[in-house]
Structures are given as structure tokens and as C-alpha cells.
Structure 1
Amino acid sequence: MSYLEYTVKTTPSGWRKVLHLNWPLILLLSAVAGVGFLMLYSVAGGSLQPWAEPQMKRYGMGLAAMFVVAMVPIWLWRNLSVLAYLISLTLLVAVELFGAIGMGAQRWIDLGFMRLQPSELMKVALVMVLAAYYDWLPLRKTSSPIWVILPLLLILGPTALTLVQPDLGTALLLMTGGGLMMFLAGVHWAYFAVVLSAGAGTVWAVFESRGTPWQLLKDYQFRRIDTFLDPSTDPLGAGYHITQAKIAMGSGGWTGRGFMQGTQSRLNFLPEKHTDFIFNTLAEEFGFVGGISLLALYVLVLIFCIAAALQNRDRFSSLLTLGVGLTFFLYFAVNMSMVMGLAPVVGVPLPLVSYGGSAMLVLMIAFGLVQSAHIHRPR
């Protein structure tokens, strides 16, 4: 009996699949989203409009999408991995041709009812195609140079297209996520040593290129780096965001000022209070206790993903589940580091909490894949 036949015979069918969903994970995701609804209600001055109610509807759509994805056998998603990657890559090219422009960047495709950000889709598609590739590739060939080239191309292609938009934050997430997938698959550490050395050289080249005709970053990206190194150099300009974010976090203390009592957000000193800097609003109103509680929820989601990966018996499902968990980790780790001044401001949303459609929908689809692997694993 083949592995596929064994899987089909030993996994639940019909409505029994619903009983085999990872319900604790769903409850954790709902709890995180609930924190987002609460904070969006607060920053709107105690109103469901214009952010909380649309976010609730989007989460409902995302939850429905997760259930649909979960019901589809995981082997079918493995077979569709290459197609998902090619579609996402095509959409990234389409963004360059006729994408919608917002806040100085061309990152979206206007579908009428929503603006789709293809780079968000690519985060999941890249995890899928790399998991399928290493599931197909024999273990003894994992670190062979010729078999390392293809996954590198799969990572660098969308990274370059995303960097051109420009979207440095997402490009870094794609590159880091892809590299971690290769590491989890068993690629030898020497390759990563070479990449890290090349990265250090690239950082040097970026700083050396400033002010030259071959400048590697946009001027606003260099300003973000300057602001990260010393926000006080321009407290009313490029350093305004992070300065106000730190004031909001510091004023929250241990237990916060109270729900809807945050002065930084209520008086509009805190910029992007409903998207990138929503964690600072939470920290100001609920203090250290509120911030660490949200972080604990995120860590629990990550632990459940790792536990689910360990329970899976096939390589694709394990790598896919770990890849989704790592993508989720990179989201909240980069955002929290950014708003606390530990990393440059790169515009990465706080998962399931920041206001936005594409990121939430894609994350829920990704967790649908985790659920599919969980449901359809052999028992």
C-alpha cells in the first residue's frame, strides 16, 4: 500500500473532519483577533467604524476560508504548490505593470471590493513550493550544490520583485522565511555562513552607495536607518514615528492608563495607530501586562504549530506547518522590534491585530493549510 493510499484510509471523512480540527489553535487565533478588534474600537474613539467592524467581517471571511482550505486533503495542496507559486509570481509582475499606488509605493492590485497585496500571497506560496520541493528531493541531495540553486532562485525572484515596489520589509521577510525553510529542510550550515558573509558585504555596499549614482536604497529608506540609529536627530521629521511610539509605550507603565485612555493615540500623536503601531496603543492602555499577554498568545500559537509539525509523519506537512509558524513568528517579531526601536521601521503589520485585509486573509489561509495537514495526517 502506498503512503497516499494509507493516508486516505486512515484519515477522517465528511463532517468528521470538523471534529479533528485543531480547535485550541483556532481559539488562540480568535483570541489574538479579538485583541485587534478591541484596540481598533479604542483608537476610533469608542466606535466600530471605520476600523473595528470591517476587521471583524474580514476575520469572519478569513475563518471561513481557513475551514474550506482545511477540508481539502493536504496531498492536493502539495500538488498545487507550484501553481500557487506561479500565480503569486504572476501577480507580483502584474503589480509592476498596473498596480495601485498608495503612500508612495506600488504594492496592490485593485479588485474593486478590496486591494490585494500579492507579496502577502507569495509568503505562503513560497513556503508551499519549498516544502513540496524538499518533500520531492531525496535527503542525500539536500545539500548538493546543484540542488541548492533552484530554491535560491525560487526565493530571490519574488524578493527582487517585492524590493522594486519598493517594500523592503516584505522583501526581507521573504528572504528570511525562505532561508529558514532551507535550514529546516537540512541544507548544510556552510551555505548560510556564506550568505551571512555576503549579507555583511551588502550592508557595507549599501552604506557606501549613499549619495552616489548607483545608490542601492531609496532616500526614505536611508532616513529610516538614520532614524533607527538616532531618532533624536530629527524628532519632528523622520524620527517622529518612533519617538512618539516610545512615549506611548513608556507612558503605559506596568498596567496602562486604562481602556480608551491613551493620550498618544486619542490625541493623534501616535501615527499609524491602527496599523503598524497598534502595539504601542495596546501598551499605552494596558501597559506591560497587556503587551506581554499578547506576546504570550503569539508564542502559544507558535508552540501549537511546532507541536502539529512534530505529529505529522510526512515531510511536506511537517515543513509546511513549520514554515507557516515561522512566517507568523517573523510577522510579530519584526513588528514588535520595529515599534520598540529595536529594528528600523519597515512597515510590517502586527498579525491579526493591525487593520488590513490582505495580510489577515493570507494568514488565515496559511493556518488552513496547517489544519489540513493536522486533519489528514495518518492515524
Structure 2
Amino acid sequence: MSAVFQQPSLARRIAPIFQGFDGLLAFAVVLLGCAGMVTMYSSGFDHGTRFMDHGRNMLLAAFIMFVVAQVPPQRLMSFAVPLYTVGVALLIAVAVFGITKKGARRWINVGVVIQPSEILKIAMPLMLAWWFQRREGQLRPLDFIVATILLGVPVGLIMKQPDLGTALLVLAAGMSVIFFAGLSWKLIVPPVVIGLVAVALIVGYESTLCADGFDWRVLHDYQKQRICTLLDPTKDPLGKGFHIIQGMIAIGSGGIGGKGFMQGTQTHLEFVPERTTDFIFAAYSEEFGLVGNVFLIVSFVFLIFRGLAIAMDAPTLFARLLAGAVTMIFFTYAFVNMGMVSGILPVVGVPLPFISYGGTAMVTLGLALGILMSISRARRLMQS
């Protein structure tokens, strides 16, 4: 009598795809995604299809996350050198014959117009994690010097465009890898002290340093203006200080519980600039107040702690460094955006993850989440 083989059900066949999928990480992203959709519906109500486009961008990011999550970390490591090399080559090409818009040369036409600096947000931590993985067990000071050079080249090219916001994000991602790789505190403390002294000097001599005609040399004029505007936005309340002042008014007017969904007067009367992109946190704060802000911050903290937990449990040095750096990307995005809208950091054009409108940023976030999911999945499959 011949054996009868029963074909497995569809659910059983697709189950391996979801095996090891990190539910806690997905939960944090869903919370933030819901907050983003609600805020975009309100702040973008008269911006045509922005609400629908934001939803489409989220679905695209979710698809990218799902695809990347299926790629084992060791396979991801094989993309490190090619992706970094292509990214740096494109940055050099931008410097030579890139497209200039609004005084900045950040784009290049390769059949379609792209911004190569976005590639480095993921390529940089991949490359440095690959480098330290190769040097595992025999790290020397020279290895950290090489890593610093690998980081400094693209950051310098991006700053030259100029694009301070993206340069800051790439620098933070790269420095996270170098720090997690075991950089000595003796090398970390001096630059931090120098930075704090520089900030104190700028604050103390603001009237002199921000005077017309004073040359900061190392910074572009627009970067100098952003710092000076941060120190005293009331000097030009209808010009350079308008963004910061209106953002702080919107945040403060939200009070404890906020004005309510679709009830933000500063937002709906169009006093808040860029209310669907860089300054969407001001629109959110006005309508949902301190309670809403606590919810948002707790959601981001939960996401970041879950990412760091994935990094701690990662099976290899490469995966551990990459997961830690990717997690710090989320921290940098959120901290810098909330800080600049609140008036404690200069305005540098960094979006708020999952909340701000923007397709390119959402794709980057999808890639980052996919990497975390991949590393978490690899660990869980090893344990099963």
C-alpha cells in the first residue's frame, strides 16, 4: 500500500518566513506609525495627497523591512564594501558635476535624480562593522585610525555639498560603531570637553561671534546663521528666527492635554512652517500636548532599548556593531528633530522617524528596521 503524503497548508508553508520575527520591535514601530498617520492627517489636511502618500511610504518601508529581514547578517556583510564604495564614488561625482538646487549641490542624475548621501546612512555602519569584524581579536589603535578615515571621507564630502543634517546622521552612525567596537574613554573625553568649552565660548561671546562680518572660517554662512539664530531667535523674528519661535509657541500652546485632534490653531492657520516635514513635532505637540509627547518619547525609548537589546544578543561582532549603530540612527533622528523644533538645537533639516513626511527617509528607516529584524531573527533561529 503506497504512502499518502498530505500537502502542507499555506499557513505552514509561509510560517518559516515569519519565524523569529521580532514582535516587540514591530509593536514599537506600529505605535509610532499610528502616531505618524494621525498627525499627518491633521497637519497635511490641505497638502493634497500627503496623507495618502505618507501611508504609501510606510507600506513601502514595511515591505523593505520584510525583505531585508529575510537576509542573514552574514549576507548583509557581503554588501558592505560594494555599497560603501559606490556611495563614496557617487559623492565624488556629485562634487564634480552634481545638480545644484537652492545653493546646495547634493543630487546627481543617473537616469533618475538621486541624493547619494542617503546611501551612506546605511553604508557607513555596514562598512565600519565589516572592518571591525575583520580585525576581531587583534584590534590596535591603527584600526581605529583607519575607521576614522573611512568615516571622515564621506562626512567631509557631504558637508562640502553642504548638507549639515545628513552629515550629522552619517557621523553619528559611524561614531556609534567605533564606540561600540571598544574606543577608549581616554580618546572620547577630550573632544567632548573641547566641544563643551566651544559651546560655552559661543554662548558667552554671542554678540561678537554673531556680529555681521565676523568670519567663522570652518562653517558656511548659513550654518553660522543657524547657530546664532538658535542663541537668540528674537533678533530676526520674521526671518531666520521665525521657524524656531513659531515651533516653540506651538509646543507651549499645547499645554498638558493639547488642543485636540484637528484643533491646532498655530498649525491650521499656517504659522508653523514645514508642518508636515521637519517641524511636524510642533504640530503634534500643539494638538496632543504633554501627554502626547510623553507617549511619543516613551515609544521611541522602547524602540531604542529593544534595538540595543537585539545588539547585545547578536551572534557575531559584525551583527552586534551593526545593530547598535542602526539603533543609534533612530535615536539621532528623534533627538535632533525634537531638539531643533524645541529650540535647544540648531535647525538642520532632520525628519522625525515615522512621523515626518518623506519617501527617502522612510526607505532608510525601512532598511534600518529590516537589518534589526534580520539580526534578531538570526539569533532566534540559532536558539531554536
Q: TM-score under structure 2 normalisation? A: 0.87
Matched, 1:23 2:19: no
The alpha-carbon deviation at position 90 of structure 1 amounts to 2.1
Matching residue's letter, 1:39: T
Instruction: Tell me what 1:340 maps to.
Output: 342
Asked if 2 retains the 8 angstrom alpha-carbon contact of 1:210 and 1:216, the reply is no
The alpha-carbon deviation at position 200 of structure 1 amounts to 6.4
From 117, 120, 136, the equivalent of 2:118 is 120
Instruction: Tell me what 2:34 maps to.
Output: 34
Larger Rg: 2
CA distance in 2, matches of 1:300, 1:320: 19
CA distance in 2, matches of 1:15, 1:196: 48
The alpha-carbon deviation at position 353 of structure 1 amounts to 1.0
Q: TM-score under structure 1 normalisation? A: 0.88
Matched, 1:217 2:219: yes
Structure 1: which 5+ runs fail to align?
Answer: 1-12
Counterparts of 1:24-103 in structure 2, within 5 Å, are 24-45=24-45, 49-103=48-102
CA distance in 2, matches of 1:185, 1:256: 43
The alpha-carbon deviation at position 185 of structure 1 amounts to 0.7
Go from structure 1 to structure 2 and tell me whether the alpha carbon gap of 1:317 and 1:238 turns closer, same or farther (over 3 Å shift). same
Percentage identity across paired residues of the two chains: 38
Between 20-29 and 93-102, the greater mean CA deviation after superposition: 93-102
Structure 2: which 5+ runs fail to align?
Answer: 1-12, 203-208
Asked if 1 retains the 8 angstrom alpha-carbon contact of 2:100 and 2:107, the reply is yes
User: Once the two structures are superposed, what CA deviation does each residue of 1:67-126 show, in whole Å capped at 9, x if it has no partner?
Assistant: 11111111111122111211222232233344444443232346787x643222211111
Matched, 1:157 2:153: yes
The alpha-carbon deviation at position 23 of structure 1 amounts to 2.4
CA distance in 1, matches of 2:289, 2:83: 41
CA distance in 2, matches of 1:208, 1:272: 26
Go from structure 1 to structure 2 and tell me whether the alpha carbon gap of 1:46 and 1:31 turns closer, same or farther (over 3 Å shift). farther
Instruction: Tell me what 1:134 maps to.
Output: 132
CA distance in 2, matches of 1:263, 1:103: 30
Asked if 1 retains the 8 angstrom alpha-carbon contact of 2:172 and 2:328, the reply is no
User: Once the two structures are superposed, what CA deviation does each residue of 1:124-171 show, in whole Å capped at 9, x if it has no partner?
Assistant: 111111111111113342xx2321221011110111111011111221
CA distance in 2, matches of 1:376, 1:327: 21
CA distance in 2, matches of 1:106, 1:243: 29
Asked if 2 retains the 8 angstrom alpha-carbon contact of 1:17 and 1:375, the reply is no
Instruction: Tell me what 1:356 maps to.
Output: 358
CA distance in 2, matches of 1:43, 1:112: 34
CA distance in 2, matches of 1:164, 1:209: 24
Between 274-283 and 172-181, the greater mean CA deviation after superposition: 172-181
From 230, 254, 257, the equivalent of 2:256 is 254
The alpha-carbon deviation at position 31 of structure 1 amounts to 2.4
Instruction: Tell me what 1:268 maps to.
Output: 270
CA distance in 1, matches of 2:67, 2:370: 8
Instruction: Tell me what 1:3 maps to.
Output: none
CA distance in 2, matches of 1:64, 1:176: 26
CA distance in 2, matches of 1:99, 1:30: 37
Go from structure 1 to structure 2 and tell me whether the alpha carbon gap of 1:23 and 1:214 turns closer, same or farther (over 3 Å shift). closer
Go from structure 1 to structure 2 and tell me whether the alpha carbon gap of 1:197 and 1:108 turns closer, same or farther (over 3 Å shift). same
- The root-mean-square deviation of aligned C-alpha atoms, in Å, is 2.6
Instruction: Tell me what 1:10 maps to.
Output: none
CA distance in 2, matches of 1:210, 1:322: 43
Between 184-193 and 348-357, the greater mean CA deviation after superposition: 184-193
Go from structure 1 to structure 2 and tell me whether the alpha carbon gap of 1:99 and 1:293 turns closer, same or farther (over 3 Å shift). farther
Instruction: Tell me what 2:205 maps to.
Output: none
Instruction: Tell me what 2:312 maps to.
Output: 310
Go from structure 1 to structure 2 and tell me whether the alpha carbon gap of 1:298 and 1:84 turns closer, same or farther (over 3 Å shift). same
Counterparts of 1:176-187 in structure 2, within 5 Å, are 176-187=172-183
Between 214-223 and 160-169, the greater mean CA deviation after superposition: 214-223
